[in-house]
C-alpha cells in the first residue's frame, strides 16, 4: 500500500470545521495535504493547476454538480483517485449515480477515522473502497424495473474477490493473496460485473458487499427463529 508521506491529497468540504478536522487527521497520519477547497468552483481551479494523487470530495446537496466535477476531473486525468465523503442524507438512486461517475471510493462521514485513512491509502494504491455502511445503498438499482428479474448468483470466488476489493486491495494484491494470476482476477471481476448489471467496478463491488450483508442478516434472522421452529416441530 502507498506510503502516506508520498501521497498528495486535496480536501473539498464546504463545512469549515469538518474541513479543518480532516486536514489535521490526514496530516497526523502522514499524508501531504496540498490543498483545501470549500466550493466546487474553487476545487476545479485548484485541481486544474496541478495533478494530485487523491481528492477527498464531500458530497453536497447539489449532487449533480458533484458528479459533474468527478466526471470532469477524470476526463482530464483518468488516473486521479477520487473518494466521495458523504452522509446518510442522500437517496439511494442519487448515490447510485455517484457510483457510476468513476469515483474509486465512498466513505460515510460518521464512520471511524481509521476507515477514512484506510480508504485513502487503498485508492492511492490503485484500489477501490466502499464503506460497509454504504454498500447496501450503493448496490441498489437506481432505475426500477417493471418486472422482477431473477437475482444473479455470484460464485464463492467472485464474492471473495469483491470482498477484498471492497477492503481497498488492488487487483494485483488480490491476485497475490488468493494465489491467482492478475488476468484470472480481472476475468472474475468482468464476469461478476456483467452478472450484477453494474456499470462500473466500484458499483459492482458495492452491490456484492451489500448483498453479502443482506444475506448475513437474513442468516441471523433464520438462526434466531430456529429454537422456536424446533420447539414447534417437537
| Structural domain count, the chain | 1
- The owner of cell 438499482 is 141
What would the DSSP string read from start to end of 11-25? Answer: EE-S-HHHHHHHHHH
Question: Rounded CA gap, 234 and 228, in Å?
Answer: 10
Q: Which domain holds residue 58?
A: 4-142+151-233
pLDDT average, residue stretch 117-127: 88
Question: What contacts 73, CB < 8 A, 6 or more positions away?
Answer: 47, 55, 80, 82
pTM exceeding 0.85: no
Facing residues of 106 across strands?
Answer: 84, 130
Residue 23: predicted pLDDT: 92
Confidence of residue 205 (pLDDT cuts 50, 70, 90): confident
Share of the chain above pLDDT 70, in %: 72
pLDDT average, residue stretch 177-184: 89
pLDDT in tens, 99-116: 777 888 888 888 889 889
pLDDT over threshold 90, residue 26: yes
Mean pLDDT across the chain: 75
The CATH number that applies at residue 80 is 3.40.50.2300
What nine digits make up the cell of 55? 481528492
Question: What contacts 176, CB < 8 A, 6 or more positions away?
Answer: none
pLDDT over threshold 50, residue 83: yes
pLDDT in tens, 30-55: 999 988 988 888 888 888 777 678 88
Amino acid at each position: 500500500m502507498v506510503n502516506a508521506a508520498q501521497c498528495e491529497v486535496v480536501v473539498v468540504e464546504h463545512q469549515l470545521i469538518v474541513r479543518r478536522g480532516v486536514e489535521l487527521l490526514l496530516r497526523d497520519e502522514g499524508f501531504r495535504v496540498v490543498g483545501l477547497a470549500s466550493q466546487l468552483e474553487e476545487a476545479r481551479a485548484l485541481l486544474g493547476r496541478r495533478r494530485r494523487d487523491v481528492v477527498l470530495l464531500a458530497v453536497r446537496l447539489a449532487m449533480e454538480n458533484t458528479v459533474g466535477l468527478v466526471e470532469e476531473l477524470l476526463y482530464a486525468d483518468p488516473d486521479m483517485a477520487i473518494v466521495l465523503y458523504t452522509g446518510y442524507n442522500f437517496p439511494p438512486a442519487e448515490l447510485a449515480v455517484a457510483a457510476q461517475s468513476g469515483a474509486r471510493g465512498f466513505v460515510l462521514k460518521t464512520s471511524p477515522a481509521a476507515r477514512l485513512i484506510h480508504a485513502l491509502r487503498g485508492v492511492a494504491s490503485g484500489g477501490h473502497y466502499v464503506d460497509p455502511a454504504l454498500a447496501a445503498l450503493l448496490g441498489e438499482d437506481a432505475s426500477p424495473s417493471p418486472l422482477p428479474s431473477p437475482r444473479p448468483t455470484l460464485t464463492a470466488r467472485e464474492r471473495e474477490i469483491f470482498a477484498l476489493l471492497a477492503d481497498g486491495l488492488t487487483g494485483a494484491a488480490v491476485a497475490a493473496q488468493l494465489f491467482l494470476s492478475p488476468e484470472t482476477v480481472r476475468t472474475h471481476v468482468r464476469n461478476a460485473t456483467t452478472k450484477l448489471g453494474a456499470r462500473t467496478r466500484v458499483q459492482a463491488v458495492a452491490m456484492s458487499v451489500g448483498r453479502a450483508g443482506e444475506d448475513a442478516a437474513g442468516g441471523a434472522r433464520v438462526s434466531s427463529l430456529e429454537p422456536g421452529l424446533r420447539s414447534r416441530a417437537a
